Each structure stands twice: as structure tokens, then as C-alpha cells.
Amino acid sequence: MIEKILLVSLVLFMIAIALLLYRVIVGPSMPDRAIGLDTIGVNLISSIAIVSILLTTKAFLEAILILGILAFIGTIAFSKYIERGVIVERKSNR
Amino acid sequence: MQVLAIFIPLLAAIFIPFLFRNVRTIHTGWFVLIVPILLVGYYATFISRVMNGNDVLASFNWIPSLNISFISYLDGLSLLFSLLITGIGALVVLYSIFYLDKTKEQLHNFYIYLLMFMTAMLGVVQSDHMITLYLFWELTSISSFLLIAYWFQRDKSRFGALKSMMITVAGGLLMLGGFVLLALMGGTYSIRELVAQAPQLVNESYFVLALVLILFGAFTKSAQFPFYIWLPDAMEAPTPVSAYLHSATMVKAGIYLVARFTPIFAASEVWIWLVTGIGLLTLFWGSLFAVKQTDLKGILAFSTVSQLGLIMALLGASAIAFHVEDAANTVFKYAAFAAIFHLINHATFKGSLFMIAGIVDHETGTRDIRKLGGLMSIMPLSFTVALISSLSMAGLPPFNGFLSKEMFLTAMLTLKDFELFEFSTWGILLLVIAVIASIFTFVYSFYFVFKTFTGKLQASELPQKPHEAPIGMLVAPMILAALVVIIFFIPNLIGEVFIKPAVFAIQPFLYQDPFLQFTPAGIDITVKAWHGFTAPELWLTVCIVIVGALLFTTLGKWQKLYRIQPAKLSLNTFYDFVMDGVLNRTMVNVSKRVMHGSMRHYLMYMFAAICFIVIGTLFYKDAFKISFEGAAPIELYQLILIIVLVLGTLTTLIARSRITAIVGLGAVGYTVALFFVMFNAPDLALTQLVIETISVALFLLVFYHLPRLGKVQEYTPFRFRRLAVSIGIGAMVTLVALSAHSQKLVDSINQYYKDTVYSLAGGGNIVNVILVDYRGFDTLFEITVLGIAGMGIYAMIKLRLSRKEKTNESE
């Protein structure tokens, strides 16, 4: 029973990712894409968690943690890029 | 010692630069002169032994494991050539001492090349091993190249040198092919051993191919039709070189080769037809065009071509003797004798004629026959020498050319009686060609000597005030002219000493008697100057003289006929066309078309080729196979993930802006990471996620720094060929993956790792244990790759030499 529920939720997450991808591709503005990517990352975290429950393994916990950090960093970098045009500011620029 | 003798000139060449630098008061040529004189003396000691039919053999192992050795084999033919090379070499060195100025010329270069050539030539005629023969053969090409371009500041010298190099080396390479074929058939590289098994070789399938290839070498070197074109251009060399290389020795290397291989190839009718036919054609062609020339050395060059053709034709005729019953008693035996006899005669008179042409050039400043004339009273000695040699070349008594011309006519007369290979019908045509060629020979011989020395002196036309040459310069041509006369009076002595042993080498089968120990002296040929009134040769000669004299007196009227031939319709134009048009321009065009520097095109070639080869191999080997046995079932969520992956890829491909493509690529990377998760690869997923993030960030960095100019947000234009190639590659990879999956030959070795990962390596993570323990070596070098990449990026960013130079310039 629980397995079926997990599979259904996995399918739903995949559909969500596909829809988010649509937003990322079409997204009329850059912030749309950034938000889309961020949400894809969150959905990925959830999918990986479900998969690791399905496979009954703890091996993917690191991947979930890394993905959390990366999604955060990526979104921050993207936002900064949209706002200022550079990601890493040089000291000499000040 | 005998092998060493070949290398003596080369060893002597080492000392030439020291002598030239340190002994400036004495002309370097005097030191060089010692070498050929010593060698003449050395080779003369072999004469008596060779006369009695004893060949002398000496060898030096060069590469024993490959059975390659320097073998010096002296029989009649080699000894005759060796004596010619060293003898005329001595005279040429003597002549060059007076011809080349010791202060103005780079004498050390000249004599080093000349000595190098002498070694090469001695090596060619004495080698019994075909590989060393080829080695020396190419050395003659190279040293001849160097000698022709001795005055390398002149364009024409360089052009002539390149042309002769191209043609002779092309022939030499073909000849090497022939040698290798012959050695494969006979199982040995030794010419003597090949001669011994000649009867079996005829039936080999590659016999004719080897024959033709070897003839290519001989014909290019001996300036036969249509390869003679390099010889007139080689006349840009200093005159001693022309006299030595391009009349007496190097151009006879091809003759030597034909004579040496006659016992092997004579059994084939192709050989007889080719050698005789090409020889006669060359004889005719060369004599015809010699009259057209206006340059003294040009006349002599074409005359050399023509005379070489004559010798070649005689050698071809001598091969017929192998097909005749009881040949030793028929007339065909004369051909080889006549060929060798004329070879000696030609070396004497042509050498002296070249030296005279050099003297005329040296003393008047020009070689243009239209400016020359009336030099007889000013240069009486040169005139006498020139007259003797020219009359000999024309074939008049009492000079040696008469005797060999008579024998040539005898041989050609007998050809028409020969019935094998349908010679009887063609034989008469050959005779007619030979006679016409002889008439033209007569005309150009007279043209050469009388247009230069008689008539009116055009003193104003000449760059220098003409005067007689110094006596030292005249010594060498005078010795040769004296030989011309002496040989006429004692032809049979020359025959006994030199010619018969050589004929014995060319036609060994003819004189092999199982019961008698045959020696060269037993060859029953005597040279007669007088055949009697009934002999057709006499009347042919009379006819040649009368017609030739008529033609010469009316020369001014018909020489204009040569202008009918348009300048474009010649073999030289053809050569230029091949070299410049076909080889140079076409190749440049081809490489321009194929290599236009566009990376996209190269990638297309590569991918198309890979696709073609792999799919072709798959179908050719019938390796294509699909089976889904053992494949896992596909879940719905995996299907959706695949659709996401494909969508991401498509987005990247058809994206209208670059940023979309980058984001699409990122999506693809994350999806792949998810796949790693689903296929139970946590380490891979981890790494993939991090790397993907970093590379997307890098892409964005690159994107941001694109130059503003031309920063058009254009999407990839559609091209059908690119689509075809990419679909092909995709199909190929899919097919190969499916086929590879469907037919596994052996099981995987992963069970071993599973069993031993803890017991042997003491770890739980199998991937990490493989990376650092089982296969740690790969990891080391992956680390190295990363290190190099990091340092490379650092260097590329920090090291900007071009910008620094620019700023320096602006300061």
C-alpha cells in the first residue's frame, strides 16, 4: 500500500518537474526562470527522498543535503546575477 | 680493399674543406686529382684477371641480420665502367682546375660534390646487392642535384637541379619497387644469383611488372624518351660537371642497369620491344631536336640523349640473341659488342666536345651559336679537337665513331631478318628510323663545329675578346681526342681488353659451353673498318654522308621549319603543367577546398566518417542484433523523467537565446543526477549535482562575457547535412549500444569486488574502494588532469604576453 502511494507521489513530482521545466523554458522573464529552477531543486530533493524510501537505503541522504545547499547557492547566485550582472565582485572594483 | 676503393673518393672529400681553407695558394683541384688517378691505377690491375674470365668479388657486411652487404663485384662490365668513371673523372678534375677560378669559386663545395658523385657512381657499377645498388643510385641523384645547382644564386640552375632531381628520383623509386619484386620472386638480392636462376624467373607472375619498373629507373636516369627533358636543363651546371655527369658517367648508369639486367630480362619480349623501341625513338627525337638548339651545350645535351638512345637500342637488340638458336654464330651477337664499343667512344668524344664548349664559353663569354663564328684562326687547337670529336660523332672515318656507327647499322640490318615476335614486319621501319637519325646526327655534328669555328667573326657580338685557351685547359680534351683517333686504329685491342669481357657479362648464356672453359677472349668478333663494296653498311654510310651534307649546306633554309612546332606543344610544357598545374595548383586547390580552417567542417568529416565506418562494419559483419532479454521493466516515473530529459535536450537544441540553452543544459544535468539516484548510484549523483552546478555557473560566466559587438541572439540555423550527420551518429551509438547489450560474451567481474571489498580492502563503499584501492592508478591521473586544467586556466588568465607587448609599444 505504502509503496503504491510513494510511486504515485513520485509520478506527481515528475509531472511537477515537467511543468516547472515548461516555466523555465518559456518563462517570460529571468526571475520566472530562477524561481522555476529553485522549485525544480526542491522537487528533486523530495523525489530523491521518496526514491531512497522505495529503495530502503540511507545512501542518498548526502545527495539531499548537497542538493539543498546547491539549490540555495544557485538561486542566490542567479538572483545576484539578475540584480547586478556579476556573481563574484572583485576587490578592485570597489 | 676492393670495397674500400669505392669509398676512397668519399673519404677524401672529408679533407677538402681543410685543404681549401688552409692551402689557398694551390688550387684545391690538384689535391683532388690524386684520387681518380690512384683509382685508375688500382682498377687497371684487375684488367688481366678479368680478361681471362675471372670475376673478382669482395664484400663487406653492412646489415648482416637483413643480409645486406656491400659487395664489390668486378666483371668485364663493372670494370669497364669503373675505369671510365675514374679515368674521365681524372681528366675532368684536371680540366676543372683551369676552368674554375680558385679565388672566385666555392671550390670546396664543388670538389666535395664531385668526389661524392664518384663514390656513388663506382658503387652503382660495382654493387652486386640490389639494395646497395639503389643506395648508390640515389646518391648519384643527390650529388648530381648538388652539382647542377652549384651556382645556386641563379634561378635557372635551381630549376634545372629540381627538375633532374624530381625525374631521376621518381624513376629511382620505381626502380626500387622493381628490385624488391625481383628479390621476392628470386629469393635473393644478389644480381649474380638472380642471373643464375633467370630461366625460372620468366614464369613468375610479377616478372613483367618488375621489368617495367626497373626500366623506368634506367630510362629516367639515362634520359630516354620521354624522360630526357631534365638533361637539357641540367646544362646550367658548370661545364666540367656537364662533361662528366651528363655525358660520360651518370647518364650511363641507366645503360649499365639495362646491360646488367639483360641476362635476367632478355627472355621477355616486352624487354626487347621496350628497350629497342624507346632507344630508337630517343635516338630519332634527340637528333631531330639537336639541330634546333642555339646553345652549344644544348646541342650537346640533345646529342647525348640521342646517342644514349642508340646504345639503348643496341642493348635491346642484343637481348634478341637469347632467343636465337646457336646465337654465338649469328649476327645478333654484334649488338652487345656494338653497344659497349659505342659507349666507350661516346664517352671519349662527348667528353671532349663538352670541354670544348666550356672553353669557347670561357674565352668568348657566350655559348650562343648565333653570336659565334670564325674562331678557327683564333683558337686553332680547340678547333682541331672539336673537329676530330665532331666527325667521330657524325660517324666518319678515321675516327672511332665510324666503327661503332657501322656496327650499329649492322645490328639494325640484322633486326629486319629476325622473325620472332613479328620483328620481320617492323624491323625495316626500325632501320629507316635509325638511318634518318644518323643523318640528323651528321647534320648537328657539322652544325656544332662549323657554325662555331668557321664563317665570319662577329667580334662586336662577343662579350669578351676571344683568344686561345690556356694549355692546361686543353690537355684533357686533347687526350680524349687523341683516344678518338687511337681507338680507330686499334679497335681490336680495345675489343680484347675491355669490350669482350663486358659482352661476356651481358650475354653469359651465349658463351656458356659445358665442355669448354670459355673465356672472353674466345668471343669471335673483330672490328673491321672496311666491309667491302658489297656490304650494305658501307652504302648506308655513304647515303648518310651525302644526304647529311646536303641537308647541312641548306641548313639556313629549312631550320626555320622548327618554328612550326608551337612552343606550347613540348614535353617541357607538359612537365611544367604536371608540376605546376596538376601537382601544385590542383593540390593547393584541393587542400584549400578540404582544409578551409572551419572546425565545424572538420567535425562533420570526422563524425560522418565514424558513422559510416561503424555502421558499415556492423552490417558487413552482421553484428547487428537486438534482444531485450534480462532488461529491467520501465516504471511510469522513469518514463516521465525520460520525457523531461528529452525535452531539456530539445530545448537546448532549438533554443532561440543562449541563456535558454544553458538553462536547458542545466536541467538535463540535474535529470541525469536523478537517474543516478534511481539507478542506485549515490556517489555519482552527488558528484553530478555539484559538477552540474559549477559548470552551469561557468557557462553563465562565459555567456556574460561575450563581446557586445555582434551579440545577436540568433538561434542555430537549420542545415540538412548537419541534421543527417547528427542523426547518423545518434543512430550509430544506439545501434552499437543495443547490439553490445544484446550479445555479451563473458560475465562481469563485479562479483569479485562485492566479495572482497571488506575482507581485502577494509571498506564498505564499493565505489570509493575501487577508486582509491583497486584502481587507484586511474584516480591519480584524473587528479593530475584536474591539476593541469587548473594550472592551465590560471596561466591563460594571468599570462597575457601579447597585451604586455602592446603596452610596451605604446610606451
Q: Note the pLDDT of residue B180.
A: 93
Does the distance separating the beta carbons of B700 and A57 come in below 8 Å? Answer: no
Does the distance separating the beta carbons of A60 and B682 come in below 8 Å? Answer: yes
Q: Note the pLDDT of residue B401.
A: 84
Backbone φ and ψ for B368, nearest 5 degrees, come out as: -80, 120
Q: What is the DSSP string of A22-69?
A: HHHHH-SSHHHHHHHHHHHHHHHHHHHHHHHHHTT-STTHHHHHHHHH
- Grid coordinates of B598: 572551419
The burial of B561, by beta-carbon neighbours within 10 Å (0-12 exposed, 13-18 middle, 19 or more buried), is given as exposed
| DSSP tag of B69 | E
Query: What number is the ipTM of this complex?
Result: 0.78
Asked if pLDDT for residue B15 goes beyond 60, the answer is: yes
Asked if residue B50 lies in contact with residue B496, where contact means CB atoms within 8 angstroms, the answer is no
Across B140-154, B375-389, B620-634, the highest mean pLDDT is recorded for B140-154
For the residues B285-310, what does the mean pLDDT come to?
A: 89
Does the distance separating the beta carbons of A87 and B670 come in below 8 Å? Answer: no
Q: Which of B638, B640, B653, B699 to mutate to test the interface with A (most CBs of A within 10 A)?
A: B640
Asked if pLDDT for residue B707 goes beyond 90, the answer is: no
Asked if residue B400 lies in contact with residue B349, where contact means CB atoms within 8 angstroms, the answer is yes
Mean pLDDT lowest among B40-49, B312-321, B478-487: B312-321
Asked if pLDDT for residue B567 goes beyond 70, the answer is: no
What are the residues of chain B with a beta carbon less than 8 Å away from any beta carbon of chain A?
635-637, 640-641, 643-644, 647-648, 651, 659-660, 663-664, 666-667, 670, 673-674, 677-678, 680, 682, 685-686, 689-690, 693, 696-697, 700-701, 704
If phi > 0 it is left, if psi is from -120 to 50 it is alpha, else beta; for residue B365 that is left
Confidence of residue B515 (pLDDT cuts 50, 70, 90): very low
What are the residues of chain A with a beta carbon less than 8 Å away from any beta carbon of chain B?
7, 10-11, 13-15, 17-18, 21, 24-25, 30, 33, 37, 40-41, 44, 47-48, 51-52, 55, 57, 59-60, 62-63, 66-67, 70, 73-74, 77, 81, 85-87
Q: Which of B656, B660, B677, B699 to mutate to test the interface with A (most CBs of A within 10 A)?
A: B677
More confident: A50 or B575: A50
B475-486 pLDDT, tens digit each: 889 999 998 888
B724-781 pLDDT, tens digit each: 899 999 999 998 888 888 777 788 888 888 888 888 888 888 888 999 988 999 999 9
Q: Note the pLDDT of residue B785.
A: 96
Q: What is the DSSP string of B313-354?
A: HHHHHHHHGGGSTTGGGSGGGHHHHHHHHHHHHHHHHHHHHH
For the residues B465-473, what does the mean pLDDT come to?
A: 80
Q: Note the pLDDT of residue B518.
A: 56
For the residues B126-139, what does the mean pLDDT come to?
A: 92
Searching chain B, which residue's CA lies closest to the CA of residue A7? Answer: B637
Residues with Cβ within 8 Å of B597's Cβ and at least 6 positions away in sequence, in order, are none
- Grid coordinates of B268: 621477355
CA–CA distance, B165 with B160 (Å, rounded to integer): 8
Contacts of A33 in chain B (CB under 8 A): 663
Q: Note the pLDDT of residue B419.
A: 58
In the predicted model, what is the mean pLDDT of chain B? 84
Does the distance separating the beta carbons of B693 and A70 come in below 8 Å? Answer: yes
Asked if pLDDT for residue B714 goes beyond 60, the answer is: no
Mean pLDDT lowest among B144-148, B173-177, B323-327: B323-327
For the residues B404-426, what does the mean pLDDT come to?
A: 70
More confident: B268 or B305: B305
CA–CA distance, B127 with B78 (Å, rounded to integer): 9
Across the interface, which of A24, A41, A55 has its CB nearest the CB of B680? A55
B99-123 pLDDT, tens digit each: 888 888 888 889 999 999 999 999 9
Q: Of all residues in chain B, what percent carry a pLDDT higher than 70?
A: 91
Q: What is the model's pTM?
A: 0.81
Contacts of B701 in chain A (CB under 8 A): 87
B517-560 pLDDT, tens digit each: 555 656 666 666 555 666 677 788 888 888 888 888 887 777 77
Residue with cell 633467370: B198
Kindly give the residue spans of alpha helices, DSSP state H, lying in B577-657: 587-594, 599-620, 636-654
